[in-house]
Every structure is written in structure tokens, then in C-alpha cells.
Amino acid sequence: MLSYRHAFHAGNHADVLKHLVLVQLVAYMAQKDKPFWYIDTHAGAGAYALDSAYAQKLAEFREGVGRLWQRKDLPAVVKAYVDEVRRFNGEGGLRRYPGSPLVAAQTLREQDRMRLFELHPSDSRSLKSTFADAGKRVVVDASDGFVGLKALLPPASRRALTLIDPPYEEKRDYERVIVAMRDALERFATGVYCVWYPQLARREAQELPDRLKKLGAKSWLHATLRVTAPSADGFGMHGSGLFIVNPPWTLQATLAEVLPYLAEVLATGDGAGYTLEQEAA
């Protein structure tokens, strides 16, 4: 299936969590002079117009990044994320939202490389257009990122940050995440991996974090953000989670500070909250 379009959801509460953490992960990778690769298995269109018909249909950004846009009490880490969105918009209001590749690209250095996969034909064309002037530093591949990841690990630099962020429209996506992560850890155990997943009533979504824990990574961090309680009918996404392998040692303390803030500010109903757990080597 190729029906999923992230344009409907750009800038929502799940993007806030994912991209706030991504800003921290890229900054961590860039602390060393040695180059690294940013790999995105499901990169999307790259950039999203929030005044487009897609974005306006659900207007999820209003309950996500929109709630943070004018606040004066942002914790430093949240402000760093919002500043990246502002940098993408330039002067003026919130009109556009950067996808994960652009969030990462705004911090990447000349010596770093990006490998982006997107299977949806329209989105992959948009992604190529977004990075048309990037030269050889950025390679956009209109193919299955689960398959393409195997050929990239380990990278020549022996340093990489990989985001695995499928749409999870099909049940098999959950299994493919487990297979991809198991293979990635066998090929390149020291890489930094960030798996995003939706919080749903669906059994596969609920079981995914525990399955990831059992893959045997020596160091991992698991963070979730709920904006409301699960619906009585079992439909809809009430939150999202990130499972990060080989996280920065400071990330747990960083998220312990900002997750309570985000749970309060982004809440849309009763039951909003967060979880944070870590296994350190």
C-alpha cells in the first residue's frame, strides 16, 4: 500500500516528539569532527505547506507545533526544536513544516552525508526536488527503505544515525521494523537508531517496544508522549513513542525535563502523560 501521506499529519504532536529528539540526536552526532551518515528509511516529501489542502484537512499541526509557536516559556530543548522550524519558515508566521530530512539537514555539516528512502512516487519526487541542489552529499532513493538499509550498514565512516519511521498502515510494518533492527544490530551494533511508532489500541503497536527491548542492544532509551486517553472505540492515535538504541548519555535527563511540559501543553483530553525508561550499558 502507498496511500499514506504525511502531509495530512505534518507538525502534529508526534512530529513534535520525533523532531525535538532528532534535533538532539543530530547535534550529538555532530560533536565529533569525524563525519557521519544520516539515514532515513521513510523520508516522506521533505517539506510540507501547512496551508495546503492536505494539511488543512485535519489541521493537526495546530494541536502540535502550533501550540508551541507563540509561547514564551519554552524549555531550552523545546525552543531549540521550535527555532529549527522557525529557521525553515524564515520571517513571518508558521506556514511550512520541515520533514525529518530537513530537520536533520539544518544541522549537518559539509563532511556529513544523507541517504534518504521514500517509496511513494509523488513524495519521492518532492524529496528529490527539495534536495536538488545538495549534490553528492544527499542521495534520494525512490525505493523501500527497509531493503535499502541493509546495503548501507556499516557506513564507511563507521558513524551513522538511522531514523526508522514507517507509516504502520499495514500490520507487517511492525514485523519489518523488528527484522530491520535485528539485522542492523548484527551489521553495525554501534550505530545510533531511532524507531518511531504510534500509540494505538492495535496489539502490534502495544507490543513493539517490548519486542525491541528483546533484540539485545546494550543501551537503549524508550520515550512516549500521550496527548489524550485511548478512545473507547479503539480508533485513532492517542500518542507516539520513540525507541532509541545507543542514545546520547544526556538524553534521558533532557527528556525527563521536557516530557512533562509537552504532556501538559499538547494535551487534548484526559489521560495525557508520558513514559521514560532506559537501559544503560
Each residue's pLDDT tens digit, 162-185: 999 999 988 899 999 999 999 999
Q: Which residue has the cell 525553515?
A: 88
Predicted confidence at residue 55, as pLDDT, reads 61
Choosing from 165, 173, 183, 233, the catalytic residue is 165
- Long-range pairs of 49-55 with CB within 8 A, sequence gap ≥ 24: 49/95, 49/96, 50/10, 50/11, 50/94, 50/95, 50/96, 50/97, 51/95, 52/7, 54/5, 54/7, 54/8, 55/7, 55/8, 55/10, 55/11, 55/97
Q: Is the pLDDT of residue 235 over 60?
A: yes
User: By mean pLDDT, which of 58-62, 132-136, 251-255 is the weakest?
Assistant: 58-62
Predicted confidence at residue 134, as pLDDT, reads 87
Q: Is the pLDDT of residue 1 over 60?
A: no
Q: Which CATH superfamily is domain 6-279 in?
A: Vaccinia Virus protein VP39 (3.40.50.150)
Give the distance between the most distant pair of CA atoms in the chain: 51
Predicted confidence at residue 30, as pLDDT, reads 96
Tell me the pLDDT tens digit for each residue of 14-52: 999 999 999 999 999 999 999 999 999 999 999 998 887
Tell me the pLDDT tens digit for each residue of 94-103: 999 999 999 9
**pLDDT mean over 188-194:** 98
**pLDDT mean over 72-84:** 97
Predicted confidence at residue 162, as pLDDT, reads 98
d(CA 229, CA 196): 19
165 is catalytic: yes
d(CA 139, CA 117): 9
Predicted confidence at residue 51, as pLDDT, reads 84
pTM here? Answer: 0.95
Q: Of all residues in the chain, what percent carry a pLDDT higher than 90?
A: 84
